[in-house]
Structure 1
Amino acid sequence: MSVSQSQAQKSSRLGLIIVGDEILSGRRQDKHLSKIIEMVGARGLQLSWVEILSDDRALLTEALRRSFASGDIVLSCGGIGATPDDHTRQAAAAALDLPLELHPEAREQITLRCAETAAKGQGSADMSTPENLQRLNMGYFPKGSEIIPNPYNRIPGFFIRNHSFVPGFPVMAWPMLEWTLDTRYADLVRSKPSVEQSFIVYNMPESRITPALEALEQKWPGVRAFSLPSVGEGGGAPHIELGVKGDQDLVGAALEYLRNEAARLGAKFELGSS
């Protein structure tokens, strides 16, 4: 990887696309978001955005055209099979104005998979059968793609222009994305992971503490401040959760500053405190 490519990656945001009508209709509950937040967080990274999209080729093409143009690093789960309701491979090719090609490594891996299942008495190793020709369709990727190995059943995903496309099945998708993060983006993994700390205040309007949040981010550029107000849902008292997140070497001092500012501005840290 060139220095310019590495610098471009370090300035890129990290996005997640989850594809599937079954998620939007409620037939299945999404499992990817929470797991991938955990996965990237363990590597000192953080998602900047998430989109959940239906299996609609035109919609997917439009969304991918935007994400390719953004320069963001994108992880995409779902829709790369070879049934009529799978459109992600075709949409990625259309978004890039590229043809689909049978990737030679994908062909090899799918052929090996068919041989392995045939050895167990399931199907045939003859790649000219209609079933195996259909399986080979899963190896057609936009021209210039690289494969993402699939340790579960060998059927690969694909990588092109900082986009990684994997199946929707968590048992396949998660190890494939971990491999992607640890090989393609190893230079992004932080030796000191991002941390988050917060505290609760009462009787403090957000408008009063906002200037302190803005000043904090100017004072510590590697830290982001946050304010999460509650209006007292579930019978609790209205309050604000104030906090900071970022480099673990900076968060402690930034949190102390924010706590001191909240106290100076009259915040109460316990109900009934004076």
Structure 2
Amino acid sequence: MRVALVTVGDEILSGDTVNTNAAWLGERLSERGVSVERVVVVPDRVADVAREVNEALAEYDAVLVTGGLGPTHDDLTMEGVAAAVGVPVEEHPEAVAWVEEYSDYEHADLVPGTTHLPRGARLLPNEAGVAPGAEIEGVYVLPGVPEEMKAMFDHVADEFSGEPRHRRIVDADEPESALLDRIDGLRERFDVTVGSYPGDHVSVTIQGPDEDEVEDAAAWLRERVDAVEQ
């Protein structure tokens, strides 16, 4: 399964807020064997949300959108997603019923628009907040508040699956440029993907669907680098 993540929010683009939601979702999805192949941040504009969602839908199996839910002036994600799939946004009876039954609010107390979703969407209840999420045509719309987003994703996590991938990390006490020949050799000998990440040392990440293959590849590399002392 291949997915794209779209984060909505001017505050992300300005640097006022760190995009922890994308990192968390990427980790959770990868654990389930899902391939996250695109992460995009867009401003709070209907046209931008619609364009990115529409493009992602054409290429990926699912799109997860976070941020911009609710009734305030800059909460435009539902409108953008609705535009991407060609439907209007309207009052969602199931969302109204859920708020009445499970939240501390009466529908009449909510700001108008709180329970508006794209027509035909499936309600994703917000068990950690109020503004509901939605799923429509493979687009999952989740809140931007991390606690609410995590709770809502847990509600639909079983809908995301793929080939499990195994990972090993080899820490090398050498410059990244000096490792290129051995990384090339690793790729030639084993059916794995390899990434290298410099810092105080170089962490070489080895991943693949076959656990034995990944372990053999990691062992091969460890024998050929100056390993970091633990």
What's the counterpart of residue 211 of structure 1? 184
| Cα displacement string for residues 119-159 of structure 1 (whole angstroms, at most 9, x for unaligned residues) | xxxxxx473xxx54x34x23222222111121124542000
1:246 to 204, 208, 213: 208
Instruction: Give TM-score scaled by structure 1 length.
Output: 0.70
Work out whether 1:62 is the aligned partner of 2:51: yes
The 1:270–1:249 alpha-carbon spacing in structure 2 relative to 1, beyond 3 Å, is closer
Unmatched segments (≥5 aa) in structure 2: none
Structure 2 residue 196 is matched with structure 1 residue 227: yes
The 3-state SS of whatever aligns with 2:71 is coil
Identical columns (%): 26
User: Displacement of 1:177 after TM fit?
Assistant: 0.7
Count of aligned pairs between the two proteins = 227
Higher helix proportion: 1
1:199 counterpart (171, 174, 181): 171
Whether the 8 Å contact between 2:6 and 2:63 is mirrored in structure 1 is: yes
Distance 1:51 1:87 in 2: 16
Q: Residue 67 and residue 92 in structure 1: after superposition, are their counterparts in 2 closer, same or farther (change >3 A)? A: same
* Larger of the two Rg values belongs to structure: 1
CA separation of 1:147 and 1:19: change in aligned 2, threshold 3 A: same
Cα distance in 1 between the residues matched to 2:28 and 2:205: 22
Q: Name the CA distance, whole Å, in 2 between partners of 1:100 and 1:18.
A: 20
Q: Let me know the Cα RMSD of the aligned residues.
A: 2.9
User: What letter corresponds to residue 96 of structure 2 in structure 1?
Assistant: R
Q: Assess if the C-alpha contact under 8 Å between 1:105 and 1:147 holds in 2.
A: yes
Distance in 2 (CA, whole Å) between partners of 1:126 and 1:47 is 37
- In the TM superposition, what is the alpha-carbon distance from 1:68 to its structure 2 partner? 1.3
| 8 Å contact from structure 1 (residues 99, 143) kept in 2 | yes
| Partner deviation per Cα, 1:6-29 (whole Å, 9 max, x = no partner) | xxxxxx323222211112223333
Structure 1 unmatched runs, 5+: 1-11, 118-124
CA distance in 2, matches of 1:57, 1:25: 18
| Pairwise CA distance, 1:173 | 1.0
* Alignment-derived partner of residue 158 in structure 1: 134
Tell me which of 83, 87, 92 is aligned to 2:81.
Answer: 92
Q: Is the 8 Å Cα contact of residues 45 and 194 (structure 1) preserved in structure 2?
A: no
Give 3-state SS (helix, strand or coil) of 2:36's partner.
coil
Shift of 1:66: 0.6
The separation in 1 between residues aligned to 2:34 and 2:213, in whole angstroms, is 16
